[in-house]
Chains A and B, each alone.
Chain A
Amino acid sequence: MKHAQQPDLLTGTVGEGLAQHGISRREFLQYCTSLAALLALPPSMASAMAEAISKARRQSVIWLSFQECTGCTESITRSHSPTLENLIFDLISLDYHHTLQAASAEAAEQAREQAMKDNYGKYLLIVDGSIPMGNPGFSTIAGISNHDMLVETAKGAAAIVAVGTCAAHGGIPMANPNPTGAVPVSGIVKDKPIINVPGCPPIPVVMTGVLAHFLTFGGLPEMDAQGRPKSFYGETIHDRCYRRPFYDQGKFAQSFDDEAARNGWCLFKLGCKGPVTYNACATTKWNDGTSFPVQSGHGCIGCSEAKFWDAGPFYKALSTPVSATPSMLGAAAVAGAAAGVAITWHNRSTKAKAKAEHEKMTVQDLSRENK
């Protein structure tokens, strides 16, 4: 956290900060090795990363929270590698964050303004939550609307990290009927690089991993068409799921916590959205690599995908209709029958008319024709 009393921490390099905290080079190299593994980089990159990070200045970070539930912050505090403490004490200078900062009221806003002024064009802006466009009064901070604060803060940012599905895709606030007119960060900011880290919440190590990448390489990682880092969102939950072999064998759990579910059979029939959800849950897992939703017996709900809240019921299999009902088909059958009766009546009347108009030919008629 940035405080006026600690200017040395702000201006010093990461290496100096580490030395101040008594962290040895060996410990730091171990840390960089885990970072490299997390980012799917070869182990040989660890020493290069250590070199780069230790020489780098601590990165100024401003974290803005808009229409959100603080779940993303709750999640990042559970990061284990690197831990949030590692991040905010050693690698970054978290200059503004509602939940984590000690300052409040005007002092808090001053901290943001000061950080923007001191690091103009260089600070990293993290946003969680969507931005209401329906009415500026729906969500304000210190009397400033979310929209205005985002536009103002984004101006001097080197890059923006949209953390969580709300900031990346609009999330639950933007779900039908979207009462606040919510939009994601990318709906407002068009002239800055934006990296989307969706999830409700995102996996802690994915958030910290993306930050670590930015610190190490001074830029954004390789991203997909939706602006998500490929190293974490390159494959579906389904493809990396330990239950996947059972899907291939056609072995499915029929209900939650039945024998099949406990034996690791696939949760597809119970509505798992793993096949269409791109995230790293099945590989990095949660809570220090302990487990992930599918492992605990609940299907994936696809929380890191855009419009996931409106993408059909959570507990209906992906191959089943979202809203079609037997009564709908019954009504269609009745309509078809009515049309069929009308066509039959038309056909029969055409036939009857042709029959009525038919003139019988007699032998005399034929003999007349011969003449």
Chain B
Amino acid sequence: MSHLELLTFARGGALNWALMLFVAGCVLRLFEIFGLGRKTDLAKPRASSPGSGWRTIYARSMPGKSVLEHEPIIYISGYLFHIGMLASIFFFAPHIQFFRSFTGFGWPGLPTALVDALAVAAMAILVMLLVHRLYNPVKRMLSRTGDYVAWAVTLLPLLTGYLAYHHMLLEYTLMLALHLFSIELLLVLLPFTKLFHAFTLFISRWYNGDIAARKGVAS
């Protein structure tokens, strides 16, 4: 199989299955989570605070002062990593073209050099966070295989994308195919690992804010 054939498979059959498993997996997990339901709260809310859930989504997405003071490097790294990763996914012109093929519309991309720098920052932070996880006894004890798998499948698309763009290590066509395979691995695993926080993050923040408000701790 030539490298181009491998790339065609990565863009074709493999991608189709990965995307379908991703969509089906995400919908399944959301049904599962919402389907669990909650007991009807018969108590009268302590405070009427409409919009508390939404405010909590915002408030907990902003840097919290106490946490920032306690673990500044980890906290800032978290922000920088997510900014770098999201910019690489959504603002690199070839990626925008990918989304356009499904949605029919696109948006302006960032200059490649900037995306490149942000991707490097995201990768460096991932490595740093892994080292921290391994050296910090508490975090090491709390970490399970799933945490390391989630770390690896997050790093691989960034790394292969970077190597492909810079024509490093392997021939470009082959590296591009590997880049796509790594994304496909991420897509398949995302709904069934901690990476599903990409979807549940704001749901849980909204719920926490809303339930806290009913109990009298409105945000």
Q: Mark A residues whose CB is within 8 Å of B.
A: 169, 226, 236, 239, 247-250, 252, 268-269, 275-276, 302, 305-308, 310-312, 316-324, 326, 328-329, 331-333, 335-337, 339-341, 343-344, 347-348
Contact = CB atoms under 8 A, between A and B. Distances in A.
B98 A343 contact: no
B13 to A, nearest CB: 8
Interface stretch (B28-36, B57-65, B196-204): B28-36
Given A335-B24, A336-B28, A310 B172 contact: no
A357 to B, nearest CB: 18
A326 B95 CA distance: 17
B8 A320 contact: no
Contacts of B111: 248-250
A312 B11 contact: yes
Given A239-B167, A321-B12, A340-B30, A252 B4 contact: no
Main secondary structure of the interface of B (DSSP, over half): helix
17 contacts: A250-B109, A252-B93, A305-B4, A306-B4, A319-B94, A319-B98, A321-B16, A321-B19, A323-B13, A324-B102, A328-B16, A328-B20, A331-B20, A336-B23, A341-B35, A343-B31, A344-B31
B77 interface: no
Contacts of B4: 276, 302, 305-308, 311
B176 interface: yes
Nearest to B26: A336
Contacts of B101: 316-317, 320-321, 324
B35 A340 contact: yes
A332 B19 contact: yes
B10 to A, nearest CB: 9
Contacts of A269: 93, 97
B8 A311 contact: yes
Nearest to B93: A250
Contacts of A329: 19-20, 23, 102
A348 B31 CA distance: 12
Contact of A333 (B8, B23, B100): B23
B32 A343 contact: yes
B42 interface: no
A326 B98 CA distance: 12
A311 B31 contact: no
A248 B20 CA distance: 32
B2 interface: yes
Contacts of B147: none
Interface of B: 2-5, 7-8, 11-13, 15-16, 19-32, 35-37, 93-95, 97-98, 100-102, 109-113, 167, 172-173, 176
B97 A319 contact: yes
A326 B167 CA distance: 32
A339 B35 contact: no
A321 B8 contact: no
Contacts of A347: 32, 35-36
B8 A343 contact: no
Nearest to B91: A250
A46 to B, nearest CB: 32
Contact of B112 (A169, A249, A326): A249
Given A250-B109, A324-B15, A337 B167 contact: no
Contacts of A331: 20
B113 A248 contact: yes
Contact of A336 (B24, B35, B94): B24
Given A276-B4, A332-B21, 7 more contacts: A302-B4, A307-B8, A320-B11, A332-B23, A333-B27, A344-B35, A347-B35
A312 B32 contact: no
A249 B113 CA distance: 8
